[in-house]
């Protein structure tokens, strides 16, 4: 399709919206892209090529989908808003490699999709995400262990910074540790509000999360490690010893945490926000060991 005929041309977006009398739904986070440079950056950032199957979350009127369809072998686009189906039928009508599914992405079996459309091989996930469910979508994808090569998504700029941050940054938190356990983040582009219709109230960024084949650190108990991480950042101004001791999610006493910190060569007054992912993994090992020693006593 000629570039000026695509929906990235704001005139085309307005034309389609008027033709179908479409009403933007705030509850679905509907802010459609109207900037071809940003769309090209997303495709390049994700490294979409002619062999790829791409899962697009929330195609909207099909703006990003048109670019994906021209770059990928197959695009499966999952849209919750039924009223967009006739629109997508028109805007994607000239592409024979796109399948639109009218579903809530949080309820779909993504492993089955990867099996059906990509023989279970790793897929790429590309989206201008609905911001109200950014974290459940990304964490849901990681935790489901669907084979994924990378997740390249538009998110709120602050959220992108939090995903990419490391110890010592004010943006470092439980989301940073969780995302970095599963993937290597890289901010591809910052995107101003005027690239969307309607304009959102926040700035945005495109982030690529390249999934690790196996986690970069070893923990004997993933769930325990994430409980420790949540507890550490829930009370981030407290010392780690107090934050973990106060947590209703954990049953560890102060002496046990102090002994673990000493064994790791960390100060007894260290805060959770100073620990690396590797140190959280190591700490989970000591806590688990301490708990099993208690049971054996
Ligand atoms: N991809 C289009 C673009 O870039 O212009 C639209 C992006 S818009 C920010 C987010 C899209 O996600 C909307 O079309 C919205 O209806 C859809 N959406 C919201 N919640 C969803 C869900 N739970 N499952 C699938 N799609 C959803």
Summarised one tens digit per residue, pLDDT across range 29-62 is 999 999 999 999 999 999 999 999 999 999 999 9
Summarised one tens digit per residue, pLDDT across range 63-111 is 999 999 999 999 999 999 999 999 999 999 999 999 999 999 999 999 9
Q: Would the pLDDT of 293 be above 80?
A: no
Q: Which residues contact 265 (CB under 8 A, 6 or more apart)?
A: none
pLDDT value, residue 26:
94
Confirm or reject: Cβ of 81 under 6 Å from ligand 1: yes
Q: Which of 45-54, 148-157, 262-271, 282-291 has the lowest mean pLDDT?
A: 282-291
Q: What is the largest CA-CA distance in the chain?
A: 74
Provide, rounded to the nearest whole percent, the portion of the chain with pLDDT above 70.
97
Confirm or reject: Cβ of 62 under 6 Å from ligand 1: no
Tracing tokens 């673990």 back to the chain, one arrives at: 260
Q: Would the pLDDT of 183 be above 90?
A: yes
Confidence category of residue 289, pLDDT binned at 50, 70, 90: confident
Return the ligand 1 atom nearest residue 25 CA: 16
The residue whose CA is least distant from atom 23 of ligand 1 is: 104
Q: Would the pLDDT of 270 be above 60?
A: yes
Q: Would the pLDDT of 296 be above 60?
A: no
Q: Which residues contact 229 (CB under 8 A, 6 or more apart)?
A: 174, 177, 178, 272, 280
Find the mean pLDDT for residues 266-295.
Answer: 89
Find the mean pLDDT for residues 132-138.
Answer: 97
Confirm or reject: Cβ of 31 under 6 Å from ligand 1: yes
- Helix axis angle, 174-182 relative to 277-296, nearest 10°? 90
Is residue 150 classed as helix, strand or coil in its secondary structure? Answer: strand
Confirm or reject: Cβ of 185 under 6 Å from ligand 1: no
Confidence category of residue 292, pLDDT binned at 50, 70, 90: low
Confirm or reject: Cβ of 134 under 6 Å from ligand 1: no
Count CB neighbours of 128 within 10 A.
27
Summarised one tens digit per residue, pLDDT across range 217-237 is 999 999 999 999 999 999 989
Confirm or reject: Cβ of 98 under 6 Å from ligand 1: no
Q: Would the pLDDT of 22 be above 80?
A: yes
Summarised one tens digit per residue, pLDDT across range 190-225 is 999 999 999 999 999 999 999 999 999 999 999 999
Task: State the pTM of this model.
Answer: 0.95
pLDDT value, residue 288:
86
Mean pLDDT of the chain: 96
**Ligand 1 mutation pick, 37, 83, 106, 130, max ligand atoms within 8 A of CB:** 130
Q: Would the pLDDT of 249 be above 70?
A: yes
Q: What is the DSSP string of 277-292?
A: HHHHHHHHHHHHHHHH
Count CB neighbours of 74 within 10 A.
17
């Amino acid at each position: 399709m000629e570039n000026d005929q695509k929906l990235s041309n704001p005139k085309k977006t307005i034309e389609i919206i008027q033709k179908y009398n479409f009403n933007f739904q705030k509850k679905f986070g509907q802010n459609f892209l109207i900037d071809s440079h940003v769309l090209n950056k997303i495709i390049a950032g994700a490294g979409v090529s002619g062999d790829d199957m791409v899962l697009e979350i929330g195609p909207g009127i099909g703006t990003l989908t048109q670019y994906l369809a021209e770059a990928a072998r197959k695009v499966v686009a999952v849209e919750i808003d039924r009223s967009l189906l006739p629109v997508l039928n028109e805007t994607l009508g000239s592409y024979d490699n796109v399948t639109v599914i009218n579903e809530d992405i949080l309820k779909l079996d993504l492993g089955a999709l990867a099996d059906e459309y990509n023989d279970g091989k790793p897929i790429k996930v590309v989206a201008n995400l609905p911001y109200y469910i950014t974290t459940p979508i990304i964490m849901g994808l990681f935790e489901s262990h669907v084979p994924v090569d990378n997740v390249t998504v538009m998110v709120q700029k602050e959220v992108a910074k939090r995903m990419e941050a490391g110890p010592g940054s004010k943006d470092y938190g439980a989301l940073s540790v969780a995302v970095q356990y599963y993937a290597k983040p890289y901010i591809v582009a910052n995107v101003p509000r005027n690239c969307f219709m309607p304009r959102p109230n926040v700035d945005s960024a495109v982030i690529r999360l390249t999934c690790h084949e196996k986690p970069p650190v070893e923990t004997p108990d993933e769930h325990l490690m994430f409980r420790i991480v949540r507890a550490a950042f829930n009370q981030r101004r407290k010392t780690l010893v107090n934050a973990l001791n106060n947590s209703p999610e954990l049953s560890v006493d102060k002496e046990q945490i102090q002994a673990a910190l000493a064994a790791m060569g960390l100060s007894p007054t260290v805060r959770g926000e100073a620990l690396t992912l590797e140190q959280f993994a190591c700490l989970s090992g000591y806590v688990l060991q301490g708990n099993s020693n208690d049971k054996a006593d």
